A and B are shown apart, each in its own frame.
Chain A
Amino acid sequence: MKISRRNFLKGSATTLFLAGFNFPVLANTDKKKNLVVIMLRGGMDGLCAVPIIGDKNFEKRRKDLILDKTIKLNSDFALHPKLKNFYNLWQNNLGAIVHATNIPYTKRSHFDGQNLMETGGHIPYSIKTGWLGRGMKLAKLKGDGLALALPMPLLLRGIPSNDNFYPSKKRLPRTELLQLLKSVYTDKSEHDLANMMEIIANRSMMNNGGTSMSRKNSSLAYKAGLELKKINGPRVAVFEVDGFDTHAAQGGVNGSHSDSLIEMDSIFKSLEKGLGSEIENTLVLTLTEFGRTIKQNGGRGTEHGYGSAIFMAGGLLKKSQVYTDWPGLKRKELFEGRDLNSTVDARSVYASAMSSVFDIDFKRIQKEVFWGDELINLSDKLFKS
């Protein structure tokens, strides 16, 4: 391995030192910056998406799942060959990865893990708001959230008036009718309802010349990109991709894990298309509940693991890089002898991202969004200030 743990630690000590000075982060407030989070449900296999190069422990344990024709990212890591759009971004310094990372959850229930990845907490179900919602509240971003899902995801809870979009297969009633309802709501002092109806009546996203709109993430991402691009549009968007729980036939390049990764990749592409030049002022991050075991199981799939990876995209990234404090894959280096370990608390990445995109001091986010948990400010390593 070429990555030395010592170098990493030196880096983080500097960060801590600098953070102590409480630099004002409000460097550039005149441009609108966007944050997009893609939730990868089911446990994304960081080792399938971003395999390590030339590690015998890895190749031995996953004989049937090793990918052909991976794309080399650097001397240590490669990229799943189907992630073509992400690789495009990477080549333009618009794509980066944090590896061997996870939320601090070490049990293996999807159920609890997905709750914690959204709340950012430690005890399942004890927190009723999401870390993103709390961060937005701190940044006073009321009405600036957009979920590309029907129920409002827990991740965005904590700030009211978020918008959501997940096209109905049916057409909306005509505008006069919506206006009538809105005026009735206003007359009856039903302000929340009036407010919602205002959003509905004016929603440009719904107009698709009367044809029914697709619920595919690639199509939702294009729409979301167009909205985020608007100066008065949303500043935060949340997507969900399912299907990462591949206990069987996870397979190689064309396996079932690839299908979900390709869906994630299509979001990158469509967002970029919708955002146009505003991709420069946008940061996209992925989030998952855990990674998967290194060892393949009897059904050529993988079981629930621990450490995974975070994909990042957009012009607010500092540069293309695989940022990691690689723990190694020898047996004693594995978590509980079976999983890639997590050496970076994923919440450090999310807290740093919110600090950079929302222009809020990292320490305030650490304290008010993550209860003062020990997180590291990675802003200057990963993101543009």
Chain B
Amino acid sequence: MKNFYRKVAFGLGPEDKTPSDPLKWATNQLNDIPEFSWKGKILPEKELRKYYRDYVYGDRKVLRKKFKNDKDGYKREKNKLRHTTGQKFWWNLELCIRHSEAIKSETPVLAKLWYFWGNHFAISEKDFLAQYTTGAYQREIIRANMNQNFEKMVQEATVGWSMIHHLDNDQNIGPKSQEAQWAREKGKKKGVNENHARELLELHTVSPDCGYTQEDIIQMAYIMSGWRPKWGKKRLETGDVHFNPDAHEPGTKIVLGKKYKGGRKSLSTVITDLVNHPSCRKYIAMKLCRYLITDNPSKEMMEPIIKAWEKSDGFLPEVHKAAIEVAFNYSDKHNKFQNPENWLLQMSKMSDVDLIPTPKLMDLYNLGQKPTNGQRSSEHLLRELGHHPYLAKQPNGWSDISDDWMSPELLIRRLVYAKEAYYKKSGKSQTPEFYEEMVQKNYDNPNEILQILNQHKELVHKHVILFNLPETLKS
């Protein structure tokens, strides 16, 4: 049962008392969205997007022209531009905010589910989104909606600037729209880009299980045509997202057998229908179970989550509570392989590793500077572990399947960074007593584990072994 603390959160830290009612302890964390526990600076997405704009504008419109014959000059000035726009700093700051929620907040269960949703509505590696805006998107659109209906999260994520840019909806133009007409007059061709429409169906809502066809995807793309950032000579593609009727495909569309009138409102109407489709709740329930419990969730696991969804109309706190309760009920039967980031946070929390740079250190940063190694440590570490949450390779995010994390090099990284982490611990947690207490508190088979650890004398070796035991890798 103690693995429940690690399964739905990151284990119990040295200051945490063992809860008298573990299930209540977990579900009580899911009603509200508290303020961030990070005490340093937090920038709004809009402001970060401006830095993104300064970078792309400066590179594309200024430097490329100015240094067209000077490769080295171009490289040098581009590097300067990276620093004047904070390119190597912001995502580190975002990771501090993110990781504080796991380690220092009162709501680690909420944090673990936040990471789930961030990955569900993944902004994968594209352009410089990760460096500037992905973290903020996950704060303002994903986390902020975790006490709302799922529908609201979908509505906002879908027309969020990050998602629209990430999935190319800015290039999705109705073939019968005014803009396509103008293009034809100039001898050019413009048409739909199905990317975003496909992912909205496949990854974000109903999943292929619901049986949509390629025609549904095209019709969906027609509905989405015209949603894009306001273009400007200076702001380029970084303007706020709006609906531009000139690029919208006119006329009625049919998605999954239902008709939708043309125009701005059709997108939100079709989203309402998608989130209420039975395939959607089934798919989300499956994904929650897969994230928390096992690679192959059973019907019985998914059932209570689907029920909670139906009863509450997809109200996320209720859906989350149901998922956590299922995880609780199965915590003795199934252990879930933890992805590298969750593993790292678990280790840091339980064994008191000083993982997160302090707000003071981060707030020392000034634009134009190259961030110090200390300020860049989070980003570096996640990259070395092979799991940077803002750099998923594809729009389906990082995998929840154990096999995808099983490779010699990825396991080597856990070995060597477990060792590194040990040296970031405070002296008072570098005692055998500390480990004994931690193991008692967090594992169901403490005696067996302590027996294994005792085969090695040095504490650092005990530490490396503990965090690479199957009991820790799988929670």
Query: A interface vs B, CB < 8 Å?
Result: 64, 109, 111-112, 115, 124-125, 147, 150-152, 154, 160, 162-166, 168-174, 176-178, 180-181, 184-185, 188, 190, 192-193, 196-197, 199-200, 203, 206, 247-249, 251, 254-256, 298-301
Q: Are B470 and A151 in contact (CB under 8 A)?
A: no
Q: Which residues of A contact B271 (CB under 8 A)?
A: none
Q: Which residues of A contact B473 (CB under 8 A)?
A: 193
State which of B145-153, B316-324, B348-356, B406-414 sits at the interface with chain A. Answer: B406-414
Known: A172-B415, A200-B412. A115 touches B452 (CB 8 A): no
Q: Does B68 contact A (CB under 8 A)?
A: yes
Give bound CA distance, A247 to B407, whole Å: 35
Q: Are B461 and A254 in contact (CB under 8 A)?
A: no
Known: A180-B465, A181-B465. A247 touches B384 (CB 8 A): no
Q: Are A164 and B415 in contact (CB under 8 A)?
A: no
Most buried by A among B69, B71, B461: B71
Known: A170-B419, A251-B69. A154 touches B406 (CB 8 A): no
Report A42 CB to chain B, min CB distance, Å.
13
Q: Are B69 and A150 in contact (CB under 8 A)?
A: no
Q: Which residues of B contact A64 (CB under 8 A)?
A: 68-69
Which chain B residues in 182-228 approach chain A with CB under 8 Å? 195, 198-199
Most buried by B among A125, A188, A255: A125
Report A371 CB to chain B, min CB distance, Å.
16
Q: Are B408 and A173 in contact (CB under 8 A)?
A: no
Q: Are A125 and B407 in contact (CB under 8 A)?
A: no
Q: Are A249 and B70 in contact (CB under 8 A)?
A: yes
Q: Are A166 and B409 in contact (CB under 8 A)?
A: yes
The 9 A-B residue pairs with the shortest CB-CB distance in the complex, in nearest-first order: A299-B64, A248-B64, A300-B68, A170-B416, A164-B409, A249-B71, A249-B74, A199-B408, A150-B386
Give bound CA distance, A374 to B419, whole Å: 52
Q: Which residues of B contact A124 (CB under 8 A)?
A: 195
Known: A125-B394, A163-B408, A200-B411. A184 touches B384 (CB 8 A): no
A195: nearest chain-B partner, CB-CB: B406
Could you list some 16 contacts between A and B, CB below 8 A?
A109-B168, A147-B407, A151-B386, A166-B409, A170-B420, A177-B461, A177-B464, A180-B455, A193-B406, A196-B408, A200-B411, A206-B412, A248-B74, A249-B67, A255-B71, A256-B74
Number of interface residues of B (CB under 8 A): 48
Report B452 CB to chain A, min CB distance, Å.
6
Q: Does B42 contact A (CB under 8 A)?
A: no
Known: A154-B393, A164-B408, A196-B408. A184 touches B420 (CB 8 A): no
Known: A124-B195, A248-B64. A197 touches B411 (CB 8 A): yes
Q: Are A193 and B416 in contact (CB under 8 A)?
A: no
Q: Which residues of A contact B402 (CB under 8 A)?
A: 192
- Beyond the given pairs A173-B416, A192-B403, A249-B69, 4 more chain A to chain B contacts, judged by CB atoms under 8 angstroms and listed by A's residue number, are A64-B68, A173-B415, A173-B464, A193-B473
Q: Which residues of A contact B198 (CB under 8 A)?
A: 125
Q: Which residues of B contact A184 (CB under 8 A)?
A: 452, 465, 469-470
Q: Are B409 and A165 in contact (CB under 8 A)?
A: yes
Give bound CA distance, A309 to B126, whole Å: 25
Give bound CA distance, A192 to B168, whole Å: 39
Q: Which residues of A contact B407 (CB under 8 A)?
A: 147, 152, 162-164, 196
Give bound CA distance, A205 to B126, whole Å: 33
Give bound CA distance, A190 to B74, whole Å: 52
Q: Which residues of B contact A154 (CB under 8 A)?
A: 393
User: Which residue of A169, A181, A255, A256 is within 8 Å of B468 (Cβ)?
Assistant: A181
Report A117 CB to chain B, min CB distance, Å.
13
**Chain B interface main SS type:** helix
Which chain B residues in 51-77 approach chain A with CB under 8 Å? 60, 63-65, 67-71, 74
Which chain B residues in 69-91 approach chain A with CB under 8 Å? 69-71, 74
Give bound CA distance, A160 to B404, whole Å: 9
**Chain A interface main SS type:** loop
Q: Which residues of B contact A166 (CB under 8 A)?
A: 409
Give bound CA distance, A90 to B406, whole Å: 39
Known: A193-B470, A299-B65. A200 touches B456 (CB 8 A): no
Report B64 CB to chain A, min CB distance, Å.
3
Known: A177-B465, A188-B470, A196-B408. A248 touches B67 (CB 8 A): yes
B74: nearest chain-A partner, CB-CB: A249
Report A277 CB to chain B, min CB distance, Å.
28
Q: Are A168 and B416 in contact (CB under 8 A)?
A: yes
A154: nearest chain-B partner, CB-CB: B393
B395: nearest chain-A partner, CB-CB: A125
Q: Which residues of B contact A197 (CB under 8 A)?
A: 411
Q: Which residues of A contact B69 (CB under 8 A)?
A: 64, 249, 251, 300
Q: Does B272 contact A (CB under 8 A)?
A: no
Q: Are B408 and A203 in contact (CB under 8 A)?
A: yes
Which chain B residues in 301-350 approach chain A with CB under 8 Å? none
Q: Does B115 contact A (CB under 8 A)?
A: no
Report B414 CB to chain A, min CB distance, Å.
10
Report B81 CB to chain A, min CB distance, Å.
13
B474: nearest chain-A partner, CB-CB: A190
User: Which residue of A151, A162, A248 is within 8 Å of B68 (Cβ)?
Assistant: A248
Give bound CA distance, A177 to B457, whole Å: 11
Q: Which residues of B contact A180 (CB under 8 A)?
A: 452, 455-456, 465
Give bound CA distance, A298 to B464, whole Å: 54
Give bound CA distance, A101 to B415, whole Å: 43
B386: nearest chain-A partner, CB-CB: A150
Q: Which residues of B contact A206 (CB under 8 A)?
A: 412
Give bound CA distance, A199 to B403, whole Å: 16
Q: Which residues of A contact B468 (CB under 8 A)?
A: 181
Q: Are A171 and B386 in contact (CB under 8 A)?
A: no
Q: Does B260 contact A (CB under 8 A)?
A: no
Known: A190-B470, A192-B406. A247 touches B416 (CB 8 A): no
A107: nearest chain-B partner, CB-CB: B193
Give bound CA distance, A247 to B63, whole Å: 11
Give bound CA distance, A328 to B112, whole Å: 56
B125: nearest chain-A partner, CB-CB: A111
Contact with A along B438-458 (1 / 0, CB 8 A): 000000000000001001100
Give bound CA distance, A64 to B464, whole Å: 56
Q: Which residues of A contact B395 (CB under 8 A)?
A: 125
Q: Which residues of A contact B419 (CB under 8 A)?
A: 170, 173
Q: Which residues of A contact B38 (CB under 8 A)?
A: none
Q: Which residues of A contact B67 (CB under 8 A)?
A: 248-249
